[in-house]
Structure 1
Amino acid sequence: MTRGAALRVLMAEDEPLAAEVIQEGLVEAGFEVLAANDGQEAFELASGGAGFDLLLTDLKMPRLGGKELIAKLRARRPDLPVVVMTGYPPPNGAASLQTGRGPMRLLTKPIGIAPIIAALWDVAGRG
């Protein structure tokens, strides 16, 4: 089943091993990945003109957390599709992270690569 052109994912994950495993899985699934070590680096990539279709972010990161990253990116792109992965889901779930009007999914760690891929396809409207 073809899902069209490759989607470019901006990924913010501060755990190096997790980031490597997720990036490999996404590339194998046909995504292009721009990897950032934390939210600040991801925001700098976006601000520098890096093109991407989706945001995949952790919540708890140094310098700039996922919630703040989502708010900053959606201030510019309210429709940006977002997938959040976290070991510490907020009490109100994805609703407490929602800014803008783009689709959002919240995944709780530990999580395998298949649910991440499915969530990305889903928020991209290609699920």
Structure 2
Amino acid sequence: MEDEVLLTLMIEDLLAAEGFDTISAAHETEAMAHAAAAADRIAVAVVNLHLGRDVAGQRVIRALRQHVPNLPVVVITGFDSEAPQADLRGLGGPTVRLHKPGGYDELVPAVLNVMKQVRTGAWPEEGRRKTDYNV
């Protein structure tokens, strides 16, 4: 879920090169509709915390995980990890955070990593707060 068209195209190209089919959404309403309609086909989500004019990424992740518990998520954000808008506590896991704009080089490895975490059940605990485990 990305609200910038060029970044969406880049994400789609990077993931398609690895064999992923993609579903894109630019706004929270569109993302929520996809979460409900395509939940059985979503293997991993790449979510920008800032969608359109709203910081809606956390709500989108929560909605996706209501349909697919423990859905692997890669968060892409320009917010500093300490910023209140970037707080991912209480959203479950596994989640990998990448920082904009440079994080796109790390996108495919992050997607593969977070999917492996689900397959193996090996979610890293270092650097996480106790409240990060609350769903």
Residues 1:29 and 2:18 aligned together = yes
When structure 1 is superposed on structure 2, of 82-91 and 57-66 the one drifting more is 57-66
Partners of 2:56 and 2:100 lie apart in 1 by 16
Structure 1 residues 60-104: Cα deviation after superposition (integer angstroms, max 9, x where no partner) = 1135611111122223333111100011134179x9314354310
Residue from 71, 75, 81 that aligns with 2:62: 71
Give the structure with the higher percent helix: 2
User: Please, which runs of 5 or more residues in structure 1 have no aligned partner?
Assistant: 1-11
CA RMSD between the two structures: 2.3
- Superposition misfits of 4+ residues, deviation over 2 angstroms: 75-78, 98-102, 111-114
For these two proteins, the number of residue pairs brought into alignment is 114
TM-score for both structures, normalised by structure 1: 0.77
Return the letter of the residue paired with 1:41. E
Give the structure with the higher percent strand: 1
Return the letter of the residue paired with 2:20. F
TM-score for both structures, normalised by structure 2: 0.73
1:37 is displaced (CA, Å) by 1.4
Residues 1:19 and 2:8 aligned together = yes
Residues 1:40 and 2:22 aligned together = no
